[in-house]
């Protein structure tokens, strides 16, 4: 039965894979590309620069968000176990770009497609002893072949939303096959653990460690760069940021900014599109809307006060958020296609945050922050300007939201240490 399940799954994957690869390998302006490393997706993986007897820990993070979240974990793992060699795999080139930032402690390779020959080729080259998967990536051939090669398999920071749970129920035999080959699942919350149990995971497989996302690393260097940026763009002017915006949101954000400018003519919007291939088109949109716009990647040609500051770089979100008074989180105002982004980043910096009605990917975190008074949830994008103006004219409320945000992050931190201890000191 299990062989039949894998056979059907692999057949379906073979049909889908060409379309996926076309999208993955297609060159897009402003976006890193896989380039000559495309063969790694088929298991032709260069070996690591590790000593022959050195234990290799394999950590998989799909794309940008997971990679950024797992970097503090990798750094701590390297401190605690310097004798182990760490490899990080990502599926996307944008994830690879983030992984290169820790190349000194973790070598990067592309994750092979979930074909048996590709997975076997990767394992033969890398020879890992432990596979640690960030969040919930269940690939049947990967799990089956890794287990047959005596590789321990753990999922960390695991989450399973109500929506994902019901989707998985539709392919429950395949999910049960996957769960059977996993050693441990370290869940963010009790609700996640309960849903995994309902899907078929054994109680002995499940633990609750909290969310690694609360353990956000805010270095003194980031704080300094935020302060320097704020001085550059205007220390005394009101500044709000629209972080990780998607197609369809930028027009809404700019319209709200025009309304804010009517009340605060010197107000500045830091606009940060989620995907780098959109940087140029969003810049053109700002200009078309008649707003004086300065790109972060270009020399300041306007002098203050420009009206929009376009964050057209990767990996600097914390710096940009830290330079603002208020954060509006993108991906939450365009129906249910995205499901919001991580509001813990502004919370960790003590920045009052506003999100739209679609935040299902971060539901627990968002509601927890709302209940503490650190996040405002809107029902529609046309409420953004009034909410931002309400905060700008109420400094005491902003200070209260800032304090509550920081306190909540501090109170919920510690998942990183707990996860490492349970992984390596059970």
Beta bridge partners of 90: 110
Which three-class secondary structure state does DSSP give residue 153?
strand
**pLDDT on residue 69:** 82
Which three-class secondary structure state does DSSP give residue 240?
strand
Q: What pLDDT, in 10s, does the model give residues 343-370?
A: 999 999 999 999 999 988 778 789 999 9
pLDDT confidence of 339, banded at 50, 70, 90? confident
For 116-121, which contacts have Cβ atoms below 8 Å and span 24 or more sequence positions?
116/10, 116/141, 116/145, 117/42, 117/43, 118/41, 118/42, 118/43, 119/43, 119/145, 119/146, 120/43, 120/145, 121/42, 121/43, 121/44, 121/45
**pLDDT on residue 292:** 95
d(CA 146, CA 120): 8
What is the torsional sign of CA 277, 280, 283, 287? negative
**pLDDT on residue 63:** 80
How far are the Cα atoms of 332, 335, 343, 413 from residue 340, in angstroms, in the given order? 4, 10, 9, 22
Nearest to 286 by CA among 300, 268, 303, 299: 268
User: 306 near 318, Cβ under 8 Å?
Assistant: no
User: 34 near 24, Cβ under 8 Å?
Assistant: yes
**pLDDT on residue 301:** 65
- Based on the residue annotation, tell me whether 162 is a catalytic residue of this protein: no
Rounded average pLDDT over 90-115: 91
Q: Which helix (H) or strand (E) holds 377?
A: strand 375-377
User: 399 near 359, Cβ under 8 Å?
Assistant: no
d(CA 350, CA 217): 14
What is the torsional sign of CA 33, 36, 38, 44? negative
Active-site residue (options: 40, 66, 135, 249): 66
Higher pLDDT, 421 or 336: 421
Q: What pLDDT, in 10s, does the model give residues 381-422?
A: 999 999 999 999 999 999 999 999 999 999 888 999 999 999
Higher pLDDT, 214 or 32: 214
pLDDT(426) > 70: no
pLDDT(217) > 90: no
Q: What pLDDT, in 10s, does the model give residues 296-324?
A: 999 776 566 899 999 999 889 999 999 99
User: 386 near 313, Cβ under 8 Å?
Assistant: no
Q: What pLDDT, in 10s, does the model give residues 137-178?
A: 899 999 999 999 999 999 999 999 888 999 999 999 999 999
pTM above 0.85, yes or no: no
Q: Provide the residue count of the chain.
A: 426
Which three-class secondary structure state does DSSP give residue 158?
strand
pLDDT(31) > 70: no
Cβ partners under 8 Å of residue 413, min gap 6: 214, 215
Residue 274: count other Cβ atoms within 10 Å of its Cβ: 18
**pLDDT on residue 5:** 86
Give, rounded to a whole angstrom, the gap between the first and last alpha carbons of the chain: 33
Mean pLDDT of the chain: 92
Q: Which domains does the chain have, with CATH numbers?
A: 2-208 (3.40.50.11720), 220-412 (3.40.50.2000)
Nearest to 106 by CA among 62, 71, 69: 71
Token match 């300094």: residue? 224
């Amino acid at each position: 039965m299990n062989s039949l399940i894998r056979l059907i799954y692999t057949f379906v994957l073979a049909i889908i894979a060409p379309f996926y690869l076309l999208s993955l390998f297609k060159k897009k302006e402003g976006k890193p590309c896989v380039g000559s490393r495309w063969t790694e997706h088929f298991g032709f993986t260069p070996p690591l620069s590790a000593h022959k007897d050195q234990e290799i820990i394999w950590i998989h993070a799909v794309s940008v968000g997971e990679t950024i979240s797992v970097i503090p974990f990798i750094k701590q793992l390297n401190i605690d176990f310097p004798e182990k060699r760490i490899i990080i795999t990502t599926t996307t080139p944008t994830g690879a770009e983030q992984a290169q930032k820790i190349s000194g402690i973790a070598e990067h390779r592309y994750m092979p497609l979930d074909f048996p020959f590709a997975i076997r080729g990767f394992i033969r080259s890398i020879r890992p002893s432990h596979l640690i998967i960030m969040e919930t990536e269940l690939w049947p051939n990967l799990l089956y072949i890794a287990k047959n090669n005596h590789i321990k398999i753990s999922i960390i920071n695991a989450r399973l939303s109500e929506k994902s749970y019901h989707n998985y129920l539709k392919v429950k035999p395949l999910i049960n096959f996957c769960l059977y080959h996993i050693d441990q699942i370290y869940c963010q919350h009790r609700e996640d653990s309960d849903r995994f149990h309902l899907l078929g995971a054994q109680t002995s497989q499940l633990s609750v460690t909290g969310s690694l996302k609360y353990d956000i690393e805010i270095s003194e260097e980031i704080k300094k760069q935020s302060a320097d940026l704020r001085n550059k763009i205007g220390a005394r002017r009101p500044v709000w940021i629209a972080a990780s915006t998607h197609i369809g949101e930028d027009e809404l954000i700019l319209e709200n900014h025009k309304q804010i400018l009517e009340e605060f003519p010197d107000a500045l919007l830091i606009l940060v599109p989620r995907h780098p291939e959109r940087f140029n088109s969003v810049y053109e949109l700002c200009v078309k809307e008649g707003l004086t716009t300065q790109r972060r990647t270009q020399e300041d040609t306007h002098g203050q006060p420009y009206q929009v500051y376009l964050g057209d770089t990767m990996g600097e979100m914390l710096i940009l958020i830290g330079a603002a008074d208020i954060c509006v989180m993108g991906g939450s105002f365009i129906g249910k296609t995205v499901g919001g982004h991580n509001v813990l980043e502004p919370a960790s910096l003590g920045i009052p945050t506003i999100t739209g009605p679609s935040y299902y990917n971060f539901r627990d975190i968002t509601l927890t922050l709302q209940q503490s008074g650190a996040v405002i949830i809107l029902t529609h994008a046309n409420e953004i300007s009034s909410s931002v103006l309400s905060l700008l004219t109420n400094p005491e409320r902003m200070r209260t939201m800032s304090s509550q945000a920081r306190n909540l992050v501090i109170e919920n931190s510690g998942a990183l240490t707990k996860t490492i201890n349970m992984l390596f000191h059970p």
